[in-house]
Amino acid sequence: MKKNPRNLKEALEGKLSQKEKSFLVSSFDQLGNIAVIEVPEELNKKEKIIGGALLKVNKSIKTVCKISGAHKGKFRVQPLKIIAGKKNFIAEYNESGCRFLFDIRKVFFSPRLASERLRIAKLIQPNEVIGAFFAGVGPYPIVFARNSPMKKAFAVELNPVAVKYMEENISLNKCKEKIEVIKGDVKKIASKKMKGKCDRIVMPLPHTGEDFLNSAFTALKPEGGIIHFYKVALRDNPYEGALQKISKIAKKFRKKFSVLYKKQVRPFSASKIQVAIDFKVN
């Protein structure tokens, strides 16, 4: 019997030259029924072959898209092109006992932070009120609602399409009573609707998240709380810049802080890495 290929490289055996193999990026993101893969310019003529091979490797994948440009715009959406399988952009994605539906062309979503979402959910204490900044289609607040004893989450998102899908996903996961969806800018919402109400803030915006630390401190209860902060930083010294920024904001609010946890979450590029810092504000 013919054996099924175990990975993309095996599936492409005999279909790429040795030189072409050297350009191949074999890693990809799987969003349930959809795979998103990077195809280097040198392999553009072989994109359909690569897409077809990926369908053979993983039978749960029904559509393969290639990244056709960088994230752009204030909603950080990424241009995509279907190179194999069904003509479909609606992902059906499962994570930590939760189900999500969303259009991968119109919203930002990272499956690579699944372990982070569950890690934080396990830290949440009974009756905590959570501030979920940049909530997207709802992965953080929904995973929290289904996997923690939280009382409530404020889920703030500016992208109207993402808000629509978040509301659908909240209904799909039967957690309406625990999540309040707020469409709008985090800076305005934190000061008007969330001021002094949160025990814990999660802010998964790695590029410009530090610009919203003021809002995170504002939304915490007067006695303090915990902030989960993400940043893309240089590999050589990934934490120093972030901690300096946190220290500056803490002094502005006349608060003290202590680092509870820090970790290099995932590589971002050859010179940069995404880090997570949990810190307690006293």
Residue keyed to tokens 């119109």: 106
Q: Residue 23 pLDDT more than 80?
A: yes
Q: Residue 252 pLDDT more than 70?
A: yes
Of 49-53, 185-189, 210-214, 231-235, which range is least confident?
231-235
Maximum pairwise Cα distance, the chain = 70
Q: Where are the domains of the chain?
A: 8-88, 110-281
Q: What percent of the chain has pLDDT over 70?
A: 98
169 confidence band (pLDDT: 50, 70, 90): very high
Per-position DSSP letters for 65-110, written without gaps between them: EEE-S--BTTTTB--EEEEEE-S--EEEEEETTEEEEEETTTS---
Q: What is the pLDDT of residue 1?
A: 52
CA distance 106 to 161: 7
Q: Residue 72 pLDDT more than 70?
A: no
Mean pLDDT across 77-99:
95
Mean pLDDT across 108-130:
96
Task: Judge contact between 229 and 242, C-beta under 8 A.
Answer: yes
Fold of 110-281: Rossmann fold (3.40.50)
Q: Residue 135 pLDDT more than 80?
A: yes
Rounded mean pLDDT of the chain?
93
Q: Is the dihedral of CA 271, 245, 140, 167 positive or negative?
A: negative
CA distance 208 to 232: 9
Tell me which H or E stretch contains 142: helix 139-147
Residue keyed to tokens 């030259």: 17
CA-wise closest residue to 85 among 17, 45, 37: 37
For the record, the structure tokens of 180 come out as 């309040």
Mean pLDDT across 203-214:
90
CATH 3.30.300.110 fits 8-88, yes or no: yes
- The model's pLDDT over 263-280, given as tens digits with 9 standing for 90+, comes to 998 877 778 899 999 999
CA-wise closest residue to 150 among 186, 122, 183, 115: 122
pTM: 0.92
User: Matching CATH topology for 8-88 and 110-281?
Assistant: no
Q: What is the pLDDT of residue 32?
A: 96
Mean pLDDT across 43-53:
96
Amino acid letter, 227: I
Q: Residue 197 pLDDT more than 90?
A: yes
Task: Judge contact between 95 and 141, C-beta under 8 A.
Answer: no
- The model's pLDDT over 233-251, given as tens digits with 9 standing for 90+, comes to 888 889 998 999 999 999 9
